[in-house]
Structure formats: structure tokens, C-alpha cells
Amino acid sequence: MGKKMTVIKVPATSANLGPGFDSLGIALSMYLTLTVGSKCDEWVVEHDLGADIPTDEENMIIKTALGLAPNLEPHKVRVESKIPLARGLGSSSTAIVAGLALANHLGKLGIGKDELVQKATELEGHPDNVAPAILGDFVAATYVNGHVTSVKGNFPKLSFLAYIPDYELATSQSREALPEQLAFKDAVIAGSVGNALVASILTGNLAEIGPLMEADRYHEQARLKLVPHLEILRKLGHEVGALATYLSGAGPTVMVVIDQSKVADFIKEAQALGLTGRFEQLEVERQGLVVSE
């Protein structure tokens, strides 16, 4: 690869935050980086993500880039990612965002972040991962009639402990577990909980954030059979004094919002309960997508 290399950096994300199904998300301090190398005859994607992830133009990142700018000249790129695939930490969104940013850079398209959020949402289907991946921090967003509205806000300085199980759960499979319909009165409650959560986050009302994050009425109950550790970790969180526990994105990762002083106890107790996944301490990431040249 040449000397002057462009690096595209995209953070992981945790979507829903409990009751904000398909609309709320935060960016986290875990990253995918894509380094743009030299021109080649064919696209080459170097990575350590496993044999299932293509290394040519079939790779999701390159497909996304070519979808935006079909005439891009092939390059060699190197992808490094700490974000586990299909675990509820927004890996597909990082691939989509990296692909759009790659096309924007190589094709000199000059697309700004708001337009990137619109295009990324069209590809992902909902904005709750792609919007914070691009904008950083906390984002409340809606996608109606093909148009995205996204509002970035400041998430209070809280620490996150991700419990990442040792199995994958594709978003598509996790969405199949969702009910087709919700009764009107339940939908009203579900929406009101999400609204109150947004207000609590933006006003830094820590006393309300925890209970509201655990009061989802849209998706967690329906997904319990796919993520039975959610109930175990939530109960443990109450015992240890965590602020909140919720299903990150479509799962299976469970996010525990917890003071750092309680993390060691929490992990010890969870392991004693037989939970075999790994734990990762994360912070809110404030910048979102960064392209450095």
C-alpha cells in the first residue's frame, strides 16, 4: 500500500436503548477501520473477519460503494474490526457506512453526513444504527415515507458493559420473532415510554433513564426465547445496582449501563451464574464516522 493512505473509521452502535425500537441509538468506543490502498485490476478486501466474508467485490463494503458510485476504479483495501458480526453491535451498519464513505472519498462525491444518513438508512432499512455510526453520540431518528429525520444529542457520561454471547443472531432472524401487530393501547404506552426516555437522556435525568430503558413494550419480550440471558442479567443488574440492562439492537448482546466501580462484581456474579459470553467495557463515542486523509 502507498504512503499517503486514507483511513475510514466507523464506530459500533447499540440500537433501541430499550423502548426506542428502530429509532434510538448510540455510538460506542469499538471500531471498524478501513484503510484505502493502491489501485488494482480487481477489488481486494483484506480482513480477518472469517471465511464467510468475501474478499472481492462481493464484500458488503464494496457492493455498497459500487451501489453509490458504479464506476469506481478497483482498489485494495484493508478492513480491521473489533465489532463482532451479528451480535447486536451494528456490524452491518459499519460495513454500509464504510462502503458509502469509500465511494464518497474515491468518487469525490462531496456527500455530507446528513445525506449519508439518508442513504445508509435506505440500505439498512432503519436509522437506529447507521445514524449514530455516522453522527456519533446519541441519535433519535425516524424514517417515514422514505425520508429520514435524525437529531443528535448529548448522552450523559455513563459507562456501558456489553455482554457478548458466543453465538450469532442475525437481525433478520431476530425480527422474525416480533409480533405482526400491537394493540392501540399498548402502542400508546410503548411510544410514551420512548418519548419520556428521550427527554430524560437530553435533560440528563439519570434517575429516570434506568427504569425507562427497562420499560420497552415493542420487542424485548418477543425476543426472550432467542436471548434468555437478558432476564438473568437484568435481575443481576438490579441486585448489583446497575442503572439499566437492555437488549442491544436485535441481540444477542445485552448492554448493562453500570458504574465502573460495580463492573468487577457484576462480571464475577454473571460468570458464577454460568454465563459463558465475554464482557467488553465501552464508552459513548462522540464523533461518529471519521475519514482521515
Ligand X SMILES: Nc1ncnc2c1ncn2[C@@H]1O[C@H](COP(=O)(O)OP(=O)(O)OP(=O)(O)O)[C@@H](O)[C@H]1O
Contact positions vs ligand X (CB under 6 A): 15, 32, 49, 53, 59-61, 79, 81, 85-93, 95, 129, 170-171, 249-250
**Nearest residue to ligand X, using CB?**
249
Torsions phi, psi of 142, nearest 5? -140, 145
CA angle 125, 15, 145 (to 5 degrees): 30
Report in angstroms how near the CB of residue 14 gets to ligand HSE at its nearest: 9
195 Cβ partners below 8 Å, 6+ apart?
none
The residue among 128 and 280 lying less far from ligand HSE, judged by its C-beta, is: 128
Give me the least distance between CB of 229 and ligand X, in Å please. Answer: 15
CB of 263 to ligand HSE, least distance (A): 25
Residues making up the binding site for ATP? 84-94
In sequence order, the 6+-apart residues with CB closer than 8 A to the CB of 70 are none
Out of ligand X, ligand HSE, none, which partner does residue 91 contact, by CB within 5 to 8 A per kind? Answer: ligand X
d(CA 106, CA 72): 7
In the bound complex, what is the minimum distance in angstroms from residue 171's beta carbon to ligand HSE? Answer: 4
Binding-site annotation: residue ranges: 84-94
Contact 65, 100 (CB under 8 A): yes
Maximum Cα interatomic distance, the chain, rounded to a whole number of Å: 60
∠ CA 194-150-36, nearest 5°, is: 125
Pseudo-torsion of CA 178, 184, 189, 194, nearest 10°?
A: 60
Q: Given the complex with ligand X, which of 60 and 68 has the nearer CB atom?
A: 60
Smallest distance, Å, CB 280 to ligand X? 14
Q: Which is nearer to ligand X, 64 or 118 (CB)?
A: 64
- Residue 245 touches which member of ligand HSE, ligand X, none, C-beta under 5-8 Å by kind: none
Alpha carbon distance 134, 256 (integer Å): 23
Q: Which residues bind ligand HSE (CB under 6 A)?
A: 15-16, 21-22, 126, 128-129, 171, 174-175, 219, 249-250
The binder of 89, among ligand X, ligand HSE, none, by C-beta within 5 to 8 A per type, is: ligand X
